[in-house]
């Protein structure tokens, strides 16, 4: 901070802020983490430190619809443009309630257009050389906003709009490759989806994932999501397994993933989705990054793209840590070096595991990852996480989009950030309806913002101990899991145990907490009818998936591959198959339930009632060990028969996986296996 006046003039750092973005606020004045004080606190800190005097202040203007339309649909633009008008006064709350973690008021439209316009202005001035770098202090944030949907406090996807503008509207500036670094603690699902097939944008996100249960929940933030078509390899997710990750963890990722791939990619400009909710003390993030850590991460990126970097504010809900972190980044851009500081500690053991998983997933596309990390690094630089609080959640494998729900409670043992880290999906306004909303993201029956944010359910260390007591107990009990669908193919089944995906799957599984492979594998036939029903799954696309009629008949015969696993693993499999991100303090199925199953043959699991595979069947024993499988309820079968629920042939990728599974056994020839599946798809229930 002792640079000369000449040095200060030679570095052209843009700074953008507009008080009008504070017009966006909760309609009833209730407290909410994403509030106007966020950017006011930043601006007060920067002014107190004299930062605006050292920067070039940018003139702010609203984004144009034509530019926003490069990443958002017309319907979405129309909604955001008109939502603050008087004609929407009576509907505004109902519309917001249909969206995931969104509120609207009379100032929302103005703020959203200004936020997008500010990031465009900052990005364009850095790209054309008028500025060396820039900071856009904006709200509402943007990286969760999908093409046709506002979500996660985000209305327009500010960074995505700016990136698309450079690539598609300002080609003369010579920007051919854009690196988007998203260090917000939440995964930027919207940004990822907008550029998932586009190699001109390398999207990198480091975020809490908690095995898919941390907001925005689901599998989008998995390390397996690496892009598709021409964009394969250009989407990089680094998903933390838990909270408490700090400077050492983030810088390990910089050293072993981001910096090597940035050197290979050689971006023309870097856009940072600069959320500061991974900062120490943030009420939503539960991580421990310091202002010094952010300044070092930024400094290490400044050697690329001739220092052309734009920081656009995303999250960050502790006003002190937010303001201090933005200030640290401003000093780093102005003075060319990080703020004074140091960090202690080592990365978590899980950090190295995640780093290795990411590198292995991407090494086909980035040869720099083909070199294994030195063993001495993995041994010497590791600390253990005291409580593995993340529980495995839905794989999205066999459930339609309209059943996906993100109501997980995620917790950290770090008392500095509180006992409970609420997902953004808990922060809602009243129920209602509006137009063409995506069923995947719509949320129902959520508490109002103040209810969810100020009165969280306490999750204690005793709760954690209870959680892992049942896991320890059930890890000693073996069962046979009977698979009659895609899990007959062993590599597909192992996705539920180890995590990941295989050929034909559109979305990955999270995996079980215990990743031990099955102890034994066998085959069995059962007197139950195999059929295909439903019409869409996130994993396989359009088409039906396999079910067994829970009622047996001597006239039916279905083939089943059985895996000997623990009852703990069976519970994790049950959770994934039924697409729930709920944390369970007790098992869904325990030893007493098996005793009941032996007597009654099947049992509905009440805590996941409504899931497609919530009905557990007992199919006898093998080697004195019970055989269990899961299928639909008897009432669902009646709905399939009546046409209330669709019966549908399987999609090709799913059918091929079933064939692979059947042919791994010796029960059927290729012709017989094909005939078996076609008969199951064609025969009426």
Six token digits for residue 223: 């390390």
> Which of 130 and 415 is assigned the larger pLDDT?
130
Which phi and psi (to 5°) does residue 503 adopt?
-55, 135
Our measurement of the distance from residue 666's CA atom to the centroid of its chain's CA atoms, rounded to an integer in Å, reads 40
Q: What's the confidence (pLDDT) of residue 341? A: 84
For residue 603, what pLDDT band results from cuts at 50, 70 and 90?
Answer: very high
pLDDT of 426: 42
| Residues 498, 487: Cα–Cα separation, whole Å | 13
Residue 393 has pLDDT above 60, yes or no: no
What mean pLDDT comes out for the span 44-49? 97
Over 90: is that where the pLDDT of 302 sits? yes
pLDDT at 654 over 60: yes
Question: What three-state secondary structure class fits 129?
Answer: coil
Instruction: Tell me how far CA of residue 378 lies from CA of 381, 551, 643, in angstroms.
Output: 6, 52, 56
Q: 2 with 79: CB under 8 angstroms?
A: no
Q: What does the pLDDT look like over 550-567, one tens digit per residue?
A: 999 999 999 999 999 999
List, in sequence order, every residue forming a beta bridge with 279; answer none if it has no partner.
Answer: 289
Q: What pLDDT, on the 0 to 100 scale, is given for residue 467?
A: 47
6 pLDDT above the threshold of 60:
no
Would you call 593 helix, strand, or coil by DSSP?
Answer: helix
What mean pLDDT comes out for the span 395-414?
31
Q: What is the pTM of this model?
A: 0.69
Query: What is the structure's pLDDT at 382?
Result: 64
Best CA proximity match to 424, nearest among 263, 207, 137, 131? 207
How are the residues of the chain apportioned to helix, strand and coil, as percentages rounded to the nearest 5?
40, 15, 45
Determine the average pLDDT of the residues in 409-422: 30
pLDDT at 681 over 80: yes
> Which residues, 6 or more positions from 371, have their beta carbon under 8 angstroms from its beta carbon?
none
- pLDDT at res. 523: 94
Peptide bond into 216 cis (omega under 30): yes
Nearest-angstrom CA–CA distance, 527 and 166: 62
Could you please report the per-residue DSSP string of 295-358? HHHHHHHTTSGGG-EEEEE-----HHHHHHHHHHHHHHHHHSSPPS-------BHHHHHHHHHH
Residue 100 has pLDDT above 90, yes or no: yes
Please tell me the predicted confidence (pLDDT) of residue 8. 43
Q: Work out the average pLDDT over 378-405.
A: 41
Average pLDDT (6-33) is 88
pLDDT at position 510: 79
Q: CA 87 to CA 443: how far, in whole Å?
A: 24
The stretch 337-341 carries a mean pLDDT of 88
Where residue 388 falls among pLDDT bands split at 50, 70, 90? very low
Active site residues per annotation:
144
Confidence of residue 582 (pLDDT cuts 50, 70, 90): low
- Cα–Cα dist 314/298, whole Å: 15
Average pLDDT, the chain: 85
Mean pLDDT value across residues 18-28: 96
Instruction: Give the tokens for residue 105.
Output: 């008021």
The pLDDT, as a whole number, for residue 345 is: 78
Distant-in-sequence, close-in-space partners of 604: CB < 8 Å, separation ≥ 6: 614, 615, 616, 633
């Amino acid at each position: 901070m002792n640079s000369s006046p000449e040095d200060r003039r030679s570095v052209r750092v843009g700074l953008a802020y507009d008080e009008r973005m504070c017009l966006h606020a909760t309609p009833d004045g209730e407290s909410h983490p994403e509030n106007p004080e966020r950017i006011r606190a930043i601006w007060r800190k920067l002014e107190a430190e004299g930062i605006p005097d050292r920067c070039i202040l940018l003139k702010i203007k609203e984004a144009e619809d034509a530019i926003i339309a490069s990443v958002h649909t017309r319907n979405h633009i129309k909604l955001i443009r008109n939502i603050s008008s008087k004609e929407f006064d009576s509907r505004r709350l109902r519309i917001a309630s249909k969206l995931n973690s969104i509120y609207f008021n009379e100032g929302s439209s103005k703020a959203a257009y200004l936020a997008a316009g500010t990031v465009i202005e900052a990005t364009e001035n850095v790209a054309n050389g008028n500025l060396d770098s820039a900071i856009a202090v904006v709200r509402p944030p943007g990286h969760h906003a999908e093409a046709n949907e506002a979500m996660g406090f985000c209305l327009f996807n500010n960074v995505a709009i700016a990136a698309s503008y450079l690539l598609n509207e300002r080609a003369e500036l010579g920007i051919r490759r854009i690196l988007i670094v998203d260090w917000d603690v939440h995964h930027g699902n919207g940004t990822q989806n907008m550029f998932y097939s586009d190699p001109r944008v390398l999207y990198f996100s480091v975020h809490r994932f908690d095995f898919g249960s941390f907001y925005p929940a689901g599998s989008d933030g998995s390390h397996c999501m690496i892009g598709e078509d021409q964009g394969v390899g250009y989407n990089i997710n680094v998903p933390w397994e838990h909270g408490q990750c700090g400077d050492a963890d983030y810088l390990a990722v910089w050293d072993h993933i981001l910096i090597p791939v940035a050197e290979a990619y050689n971006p023309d400009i870097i856009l940072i989705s600069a959320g500061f909710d991974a900062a120490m003390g943030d009420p939503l993030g539960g991580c421990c990054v310091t202002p010094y850590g952010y300044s070092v991460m930024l400094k290490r990126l400044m050697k690329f793209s001739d220092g052309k970097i734009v920081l656009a504010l995303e999250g960050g809900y502790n006003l002190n840590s937010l303001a201090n972190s933005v200030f640290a980044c401003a000093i780093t851009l102005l003075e060319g070096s990080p703020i004074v500081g140091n960090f202690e500690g080592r990365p978590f053991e899980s950090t190295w595991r995640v780093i290795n998983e990411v590198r292995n997933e991407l090494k086909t596309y980035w040869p720099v990852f083909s070199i294994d990390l030195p063993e001495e690094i993995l041994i010497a630089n590791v600390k253990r996480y005291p409580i593995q609080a993340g529980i495995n959640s839905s794989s999205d494998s066999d459930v339609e989009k309209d059943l996906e729900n993100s109501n997980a409670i995620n917790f950290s043992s770090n008392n500095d950030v509180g006992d409970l880290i609420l997902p953004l999906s808990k922060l809602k306004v009243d129920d209602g309806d509006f137009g063409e909303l995506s069923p995947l993201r719509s949320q129902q029956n959520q508490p109002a913002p103040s209810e969810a944010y100020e009165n969280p359910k306490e999750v204690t260390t005793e709760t954690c101990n209870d959680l892992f007591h049942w896991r320890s107990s059930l890890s000693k009990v073996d069962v046979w899991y009977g698979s009659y669908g895609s899990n007959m193919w062993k590599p597909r089944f192992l996705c539920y145990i180890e995590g990941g995906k295989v050929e034909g799957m559109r979305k990955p599984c999270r995996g079980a907490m215990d990743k031990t492979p099955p102890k034994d594998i066998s085959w069995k036939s059962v007197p139950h009818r195999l059929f295909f029903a439903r019409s869409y799954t996130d994993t396989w696309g359009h088409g039906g998936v396999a079910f067994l009629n829970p009622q047996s008949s001597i006239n039916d015969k279905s083939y089943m591959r059985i895996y000997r696993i623990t009852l703990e693993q069976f519970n994790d499999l049950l959770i994934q198959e039924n697409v729930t991100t709920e944390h369970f303090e007790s098992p869904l199925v325990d030893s007493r339930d098996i005793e009941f199953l032996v007597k009654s043959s099947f049992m509905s699991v009440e805590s996941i009632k409504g899931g497609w595979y919530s009905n557990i069947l007992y199919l006898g024993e093998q080697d004195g060990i019970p055989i269990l499988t899961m299928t639909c309820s008897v009432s669902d079968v009646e709905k399939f028969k009546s046409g209330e629920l669709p019966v549908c042939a399987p999609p090709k990728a799913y059918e091929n996986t079933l064939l692979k599974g059947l042919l791994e056994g010796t029960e059927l020839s290729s012709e017989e296996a094909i005939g078996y599946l076609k008969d199951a798809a064609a025969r009426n229930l």
